[in-house]
Chains A and B, each alone.
Chain A
Amino acid sequence: MIKKKKLLSGPYLVWTVAFIVIPLLLIVYYGFTNEAGSLTLENIMNMGTPENMKALWLALLLSLISTVLCLILAYPLAMILSNTKANATGLIVMIFIIPMWMNFLLRTLAWQTLLEKNGVINIALKFLGLPSLNIINTPYAIVLGMVYNFLPFMLLPIYNSLIKIDRNVINAAKDLGANEFQTFCKITFPLSLPGVISGITMVFVPSLTTFVISDLLGGSKILLIGNVIEQKFKQGSNWNTGSGLSLVLMLFILVSMAIMQKYDKDGEGAAF
């Protein structure tokens, strides 16, 4: 029996080795060697250059802002949803999930069209005699793109953790004298923390590494660390430096996840 069960995990094992372990090892290999194939720390140190530091700093800042905005938007909505009757909830959740059925690239391109100097939004604003909105090719547009694309990833884990809370636990807090605000601070929020942490991770990590959103909505003027890495691989064909930078970025993600996990005692938020 045990042997059979082991056999079942075979395809997954092959997949993991072929598409996760080997590529990762290759990245590590490229990251620590130069083009001639000899060992070097140059690629790692490349992160220290002023322009790369600037790109990393901007990426951290924008993804942090996006994560906070997603949390502020998603939490109240998740609370409302978790208190609504089942059939209404289904509909509202659908509204948030339907955009995810469209291609991510397409959605971001749509924002580009909307936000352009002579785009849909500005035409509408002009028609209404209002001042035009010039945020395309600025960090604001990038944050908007990140929030729009990653909001469902914040909403769903929080919603899931909220509906898991027994109504009677909330009632018990009120029964013991807590008002709405105290109940939220002491009971509801702490119990939803696994979902919050999962949501933060699921928004922060893709935001930090994105290059598509910054490419399409930031023009080529604003470089995030994702764009820098992409350029190293594609335009510069410099796999070594690109891999080196990727490893440093991975380190940042691992550290941020480790910090998150510390607050997630139950381990329920371990989405990755």
Chain B
Amino acid sequence: MSNKLIDLVHITKKYDDTTVLDDLNLYIRENEFLTLLGPSGCGKTTTLRIMGGFEQPDQGNVIFSGTDITSLAPNKRQLNTVFQKYALFTHMSIAENIAFGLKIKKKSRDYINDKIKYALKLVNLDGYENRTPDSLSGGQQQRIAIARAIVNEPKVLLLDEPLGALDLKLRQDMQYELIRLKNELGITFIYVTHDQEEALTMSDTIVVMNQGYIQQIGTPEDIYNEPQNAFVADFIGDSNIINALMLEDKLVEILGTCFVCVDTGFGRNKPVDVVIRPEDVELTDPASGTITGTVSHLIFKGVHYEMEVMAGGFEWLVHSTRMFPVGTEVGIRVDPFNIQIMHKPESEDEEAVMIDD
């Protein structure tokens, strides 16, 4: 986790008049599991395709281990891609699929056979050599696509929403499988997804993207606990994003009520956004709350109850293991540590895209 393996420098990409990536700068370290996360159209797949060599940036450079590979053809690059919907060669057997890259490189027959065995074992599909791609399930096809890529011993594996077409249970299993694979192979994974849970589960580093811009780069914990703007907060998990006024250091006025927080350095009387995660909102009896309100919705979610509480003219989303029936008067308390203060977006590009639940 030290050296820069891939460095994207001032990458800009336009399709006709639409700017997909605008002056993007990003580096990926050796051995990192990095996830590009964002809604569709945010430029994450384009970024991956530029690294793979399937798209040319209009401006900027792709540096790989210190060498500029911006205009190098995909077949000359030391990275392999696992494509969305697998892209297996349907006219070949599983063994032929896996052997494809090695045959092109003119490896010996013994070497190829060993590699096929090794790769199938790695993805838990021993004995599938003579099957055809059509006879496999989605999850199995996905694993073959991974096997086909890794036998070439790439330094980097690019994965373009590889689990998108699988059902929930399988997706969760494959997440663990991918983490295990990455650890066994000891190579860099660059992963594209729009699924925040996938990103949080697997990544060392998450890059949150929106409308061609990087919104935040950080560890899963950073991204979840300290989102830098309303977009990130809203995209990662459920959250209450509220307009507020930073009165002074460690004191913020939310919906007309003063809350103690831990943030400093925003100045006095500065408009800000605050993020409070639903699980961080504590419901109490009205007398001991900082602000009071009425429960307006209640849903049982299994692990917890999901409630909406109307307080101060804002509908607070609350996750709690304690149940308060609809109509109950409650007090709301938030631990100062759980109030995350964010600067208001300075430009339109940073503006949060509100997603209605």
Q: Which residues of A contact B (CB under 8 A)?
A: 166, 168-169, 171-179, 182, 186-187, 190-191, 193, 265
> In the assembly, what is the distance between CA of A169 and CA of B148, in Å?
12
B83 CB contacts on chain A under 8 angstroms: 168, 171-172
- Does B169 sit within 8 A of A, measured CB to CB? no
* A175-B80, A176-B80, A190-B91 known; A182-B85 Cβ under 8 A: no
| B151 smallest CB distance to A (angstroms) | 9
| Interface membership of chain B positions 66-86, coded 1 if the CB is closer than 8 angstroms to chain A and 0 otherwise | 000000011100001101110
Contact of B75 among A166, A179, A193 (CB under 8 A): A179
> In the assembly, what is the distance between CA of A177 and CA of B52, in Å?
12
Q: Which residues of B contact A (CB under 8 A)?
A: 52-54, 73-75, 80-81, 83-85, 87-91, 100-101, 104-105, 145, 148-149, 152
Q: CB distance B87 to A172 under 8 Å?
A: yes
Q: CB distance A176 to B104 under 8 Å?
A: yes
Q: Which residue of B lies closest to A182 (CB)?
A: B104
Q: CB distance B75 to A171 under 8 Å?
A: no
Contact of B148 among A174, A176, A179, A182 (CB under 8 A): A176
> In the assembly, what is the distance between CA of A168 and CA of B54, in Å?
10
* Extra inter-chain contacts (17) besides given A173-B100, A178-B104, A191-B89, CB under 8 Å: A166-B85, A169-B89, A171-B52, A171-B81, A171-B87, A172-B81, A172-B87, A172-B145, A175-B52, A175-B74, A176-B75, A176-B80, A176-B149, A177-B101, A179-B75, A182-B104, A265-B91
Contact of A178 among B75, B90, B145, B149 (CB under 8 A): B75
What are 10 A-B residue pairs whose CB atoms fall within 8 Å in the complex?
Answer: A168-B83, A168-B87, A171-B54, A171-B83, A172-B145, A175-B74, A176-B152, A177-B101, A178-B100, A265-B91
Q: CB distance A191 to B90 under 8 Å?
A: yes
Contact of A175 among B75, B88, B91 (CB under 8 A): B75
Q: Which residue of A lies closest to B77 (CB)?
A: A175
Q: CB distance A175 to B85 under 8 Å?
A: no
> In the assembly, what is the distance between CA of A83 and CA of B282, in Å?
58
Q: Which residue of B lies closest to A183 (CB)?
A: B75
> In the assembly, what is the distance between CA of A193 and CA of B81, in Å?
26
> In the assembly, what is the distance between CA of A176 and CA of B87, in Å?
12
A187 CB contacts on chain B under 8 angstroms: 89
B53 CB contacts on chain A under 8 angstroms: 174
B104 CB contacts on chain A under 8 angstroms: 176-178, 182
> In the assembly, what is the distance between CA of A193 and CA of B53, in Å?
28
B152 CB contacts on chain A under 8 angstroms: 176-177
Most buried by B among A169, A179, A187, A265: A169
